[in-house]
Amino acid sequence: MVLYDTVSVVIASGGTASAVADIGNKTICGLLIPALDSGSLTFQVSNEPGGTFYTVKDKAAAAHTIAAATGAFAVTSDDLTEVSGYRYIKIVSVTQQTAARTFIWVLK
């Protein structure tokens, strides 16, 4: 039996960035995304919780983006390879949310 851990973070009402998720030494298996107002999600990472956070981009300098819709959904570790290996991660919405939104990282 495989046991999974979770880490929840919230984008506050009127906000665009989540609190910092401390992934620790776990492997990211997925991300549960709540219903959003609209927009897409990007990610910021750091090597320390209070350090400078950097937007995750590909080699063409485009931000790694997950297109978000108005319904809740999940993405797998295949969609999150760009943030794998980082301990501290923030989720960033390109649009402000009208209510608090809770995201759940699934880890093992």
Confidence bin at 96 (pLDDT 50/70/90): confident
Whole-angstrom distance, CA of residue 98 vs CA of residue 38: 10
Give the helix, strand, coil percentages of the chain, each rounded to 5. Answer: 5, 45, 55
CA distances (Å), origin 38, targets 4, 58, 67: 29, 23, 9
**pLDDT score of 39:** 77
At residue 108, the pLDDT reads: 94
- 10-40 burial: b if 16+ Cβ within 10 Å, else e: ebeeeebebbbbebeebebbbbebbebeebe
Average of per-residue pLDDT values in the chain: 92
pLDDT tens for residues 14-55? 999 999 999 999 999 999 999 888 779 999 999 998 899 999
Instruction: Identify the residue whose tokens are 């999940």.
Output: 74
* pLDDT over 70 percentage in the chain: 96
Please report the pLDDT score of residue 1 as a whole number: 61
Q: What is the DSSP string of 42-63?
A: EEEEESSTTS--EE-B-TTSPB
Q: How confident is the model at residue 72 (pLDDT cuts 50, 70, 90)?
A: confident
